[in-house]
Each structure stands twice: as structure tokens, then as C-alpha cells.
Amino acid sequence: MKFLKYSLLFTILFTSCKSTKNVMDTNAIAKEISAKKVAKKHIAANFDKKTIDAKLKVNFNNGKTNQSLSVQMKIKKDEVIWLKGTKLITIFKAEITPTSVRYYSSLFKNYFEGDFSMIKELLGVEINFNQLQNLFLGQALLDVSQEKQIVEITNNSYVLTPEKQAALYDIFFTINPSHFKLEEQAIVNVEKNLRLDVKYPSYNLINKVVFPSEINIIAKNTKSLTAIDLEYKSVEFDTNVEMSFDIPNGYKRLEF
């Protein structure tokens, strides 16, 4: 009986330790620490796998088009982001690298091949490959270690802002104290009435990796408001991702 009792005790302890190791501490308290330490912990939480193979549900609404799509996303970290949107048939494909954006729509028979001007048109702000990749991963669009930051604790979250804001934009990063990934990031130009808000309502723990489960993007300018909601339905890391991309003949070129 003693043996059974202690075996049961060790089993409980072992499984408890094992499970807590793989669970995010949702009750973490944002303690008073320096902005430099918050920034360092956020950078340390960066995604460190080589590839992502994900399926997403995406809702897109810009006031003119309101559409829900299934999207397959494949990423080779720091090399390429590949997207395919479907709704019974393939609606679009996109291939984004650090130097170029390629896109075509099977629905509208048009294509784009060029720089990041298409992404700027969509989101309203200048954005490069690394920043777009970070957006999908729950990381800050800007390197928080490059400039001196200030930190405030608001609603049990760390809010990081550059000590000297950029000339054109004010930038805010809201960081969760349990895993130091983003809860929200905002880029605001009050003078031009431009605003990009990216929110991360929740995260999942996938193979010990803290990864967003949903992302809400709102891009606003003087002429329009675009809302993009992404929900990750499945995610795999470090698989052999294959990406094909060929623009069909006869499609009309888009200009931005």
C-alpha cells in the first residue's frame, strides 16, 4: 500500500511538473522592471523555428469588399512568406521576399510584381519584409533594442514607447507579462489621420512555442478603414514547406 501511495504521489508530481512546463502563466503580474529589461525579454521571446506551415481563416473588410477566405500560409523565416487564399477555388496567391512582392488574383485576372508599395496601400504605412513577418509572429514591427524605450504598466501589461518618437509616427507596443509577446502594437500619425492597430487577443502553446491564435488588424486613413481578422486554424513548425508561384499569362498588371 505504501508503495502504491508513493507511486501515485510521484506520478501526480511528475505529471504536474510536466504540464506546468507547457502552460503559459495567465496569472502573471506585470512587475516594476526597466524598459530595457522588458525590451530584452520581448526580443528573447522571438520565434526561432525555421519554417511555418499554417492554415488560417481570414476576414477582410474595407467598406467595399467584405470577404471571408481560407488562407494557407507558408513561411521560410527571413526568406519568404507564401500565401494562398481560397473560397472553393483559388482566389489569390502571393509570394513576399525581403526584396519583392508578387501577387495574382485568379478571380480578377490581375497581378502585381514589384516592391512593397502594394503592402503599403493595404496597411497604410511603410512596411518591410521583416516587419510583415513580425506582424504574423506577435513581435514588434520595430526593433525595440535600437532606440531607448520608456515603459508604463497599464492594465497589467507593459507599454513600451520610444523615448524619442519618430518625426512622422507615434509608436506603442503593449507586451504581455506572462510570455512577453505582444498584446497590441500601434503606429499613429495624428496629423495625416493615419493609424495601424494590430491586436493579439490570444496565444496558443504549440510544441513549447508561444504563437498567436488570432490577429486583428485595423488600418485607417483619411479615405478608408480596412479591417483584417486572422484566426490560425492549424500550425506546424520545421516541416518541409513547398511553395510554387507562377503568374498566369494574360493577366492585367496592377500599379500602386
Looking up cell 490577429 gives 215
Looking up cell 507558408 gives 74
Averaged over 221-236, what is the pLDDT? Answer: 94
Looking up cell 531607448 gives 148
Q: 23-74: per-residue pLDDT in tens?
A: 467 789 999 999 999 999 999 999 999 999 999 999 999 998 899 999 999 9
Answer positive or negative: Cα dihedral of 119, 120, 122, 123: positive
**Structural contact between residues 171 and 165, judged by C-beta atoms closer than 8 angstroms:** yes
Cα–Cα distance for residue pair 115/132, rounded to 1 Å: 13
Amino acid at 90: T
User: Judging by DSSP bridges, how do beta strands 209-220 and 101-105 pair with one another?
Assistant: unpaired
* Residue of higher predicted confidence among 255 and 155: 155
Q: Tell me, what's the pLDDT at 10?
A: 32
Q: 98-131: per-residue pLDDT in tens?
A: 999 999 999 999 999 999 999 988 888 889 999 9
Q: Tell me, what's the pLDDT at 190?
A: 85
Q: Tell me, what's the pLDDT at 191?
A: 85
The answer to whether residue 6 scores a pLDDT higher than 50 is no
Averaged over 91-96, what is the pLDDT? Answer: 97
Cα–Cα distance for residue pair 44/256, rounded to 1 Å: 37
Nearest to 213 by CA among 25, 55, 35: 55
Architecture of the domain defined by 28-235: Clam (2.50)
DSSP 151: E
The answer to whether residue 219 scores a pLDDT higher than 50 is yes
DSSP 161: E
Whole-prediction pTM: 0.86
Rounded to the nearest integer, the mean pLDDT of the chain is 88
Cα–Cα distance for residue pair 141/124, rounded to 1 Å: 14
Query: Cβ neighbours of residue 181 under 8 Å, at least 6 residues apart?
Result: 42, 45, 138, 139, 175, 200, 203, 210, 212
Phi, then psi, of 159 in degrees rounded to 5 = -110, 110
- Percentage of the chain lying above the pLDDT 70 cut: 90
Amino acid at 229: D
* Residue of higher predicted confidence among 19 and 211: 211
Q: How confident is the model at residue 147 (pLDDT cuts 50, 70, 90)?
A: confident
Residues 148, 152, 153, CA angle at the centre, nearest 5°?
Answer: 140
